Amino acid sequence: MRVGMSLTYSGGFLEAVDDLVEYEAAGLQILFVPEAYTFDAVSQLGYAAAHTRTVEIASGILPIYTRTPTLTAMTAAGLDYVSGGRFTLGLGASGPQVIEGFHGVAYDDPLGRTREVVDICRQVWQREKVSHVGRHYQVPMLPDLGTGLGKPLRLINHPVREQIPIMLAAIGPKNVALAAEIAEGWQPMFYRPEQADTVWGDALAAGAAARSPTLPPLDIVAGAQLAIGDDVDGLMDIPRHQLALYLGGMGARGRNFYHDLAVRYGYEGQAGLVQDLYLSGRKAEAAAAVPASLVAETNLIGPREHIAERIAAYAASGVTTLNLTPIARHPAQRVRDIALVREIAEGM
Question: Tell me: the pLDDT tens digits for 128-171?
Answer: 999 888 888 776 555 554 555 567 899 999 999 999 999 999 99
Burial of residue 20 (number of CB atoms within 10 Å: 0-12, 13-18, 19+): buried
Please enumerate, as own/partner, the contacts of 269-276 that have beta carbons within 8 Å and a separation of 24 or more. 270/294, 271/247, 274/243, 274/244, 274/247, 274/248, 275/247, 275/248
pLDDT of residue 36: 85
Please write the tens of the pLDDT for every residue from 194-211: 999 999 999 999 999 999
Residues 203, 81 within the same domain: yes
Residues 19, 61 within the same domain: yes
Residues 275, 214 within the same domain: no
Nearest to 78 by CA among 178, 164, 168: 164
Residues 179, 243 within the same domain: no
Residues 295, 329 within the same domain: no
- What percent of the chain stands above pLDDT 70? 96
Those residues with Cβ within 8 angstroms of residue 161's Cβ, 6 or more apart along the chain or in another chain: 80, 85, 125
Residues 296, 307 within the same domain: no
Residues 164, 17 within the same domain: yes
Please write the tens of the pLDDT for every residue from 6-26: 997 666 778 888 889 999 999
Residues 214, 242 within the same domain: no
- Whether pTM > 0.85 for this model: the answer is yes
Report the CATH number at residue 138: 3.20.20.30
- Domain encompassing residue 25: 2-226+303-346
Does the bond joining 30 to the residue before it have cis omega, within 30 degrees of 0? no
